[in-house]
Amino acid sequence: MSMSLDGFIADPDGDSRSLYPDLGNLRNSEALAEMIEDTGAVVMGRRSYDMGDTDEGYVDYEHQVPIFVLTHRVPEVPAKHDAARGLSFTFVTDGVESAVEQAKAAAGQKDVQVIGGASAAQQLIRAGLLDQIQISLMPVLLGEGLRLFEHIGSSSRRLEEIKVIDSPGRTDIRYRVA
């Protein structure tokens, strides 16, 4: 996930564009390309799903793999451009463990990636279901917005740095959760 130096993944309106001075730059990154290659399924929060579902389709969405959306209610109307973009959504209403289990089965030998939002990531951290955390630390202080790391419980969790990539305009760091 992309996060500002002060810990936000979006501004108070839920918009993450303020993190990126140059979106084209992000799209071409080494870390992103590697992650897409390794990803066999995606877990996504409902708010991220709704935000992605614009009239122009799933903007900036690069994963052509099964996507499992955490939600309390299955939407009555399907996303506007699913079929055209080849995206496959499954709505999971029985909790984060179930979503991860289904995503793992779909991913086979590949990784399950969690793509937004803060709430989904926080649920997964609390449940101890994350093996790795990859952060693109963006060189900006937003001052306010949606924090990635809060509501994750008060116990300390040791991480292990696996990889640091000093990409132009940001720092990508991958951690193993101990």
CB nearer to a second copy: give 11 or 50: 11
CB nearer to a second copy: give 27 or 163: 163
Distance of CA 44 to the CA centre of its chain: 7
Beta carbon of residue 5, minimum distance to a second copy (angstroms, whole number)? 6
**Paired tokens of 72:** 């309390």
How far is the C-alpha of 5 from the C-alpha of 36, rounded, in Å?
24
Instruction: Identify whether the C-beta of residue 123 lies closer than 8 Å to the C-beta of residue 92.
Output: no
AA letter at 111 = D
Beta carbon of residue 26, minimum distance to a second copy (angstroms, whole number)? 14
149 in helix, strand or coil?
A: coil
CB nearer to a second copy: give 85 or 157: 157
Residues that bind a second copy (CB under 8 A): 5-7, 11, 18, 21, 125, 133, 135, 137, 139-144, 147-150, 152-161, 164, 166, 169-171, 173, 175
CB nearer to a second copy: give 72 or 158: 158
Instruction: Identify whether the C-beta of residue 23 lies closer than 8 Å to the C-beta of residue 95.
Output: no
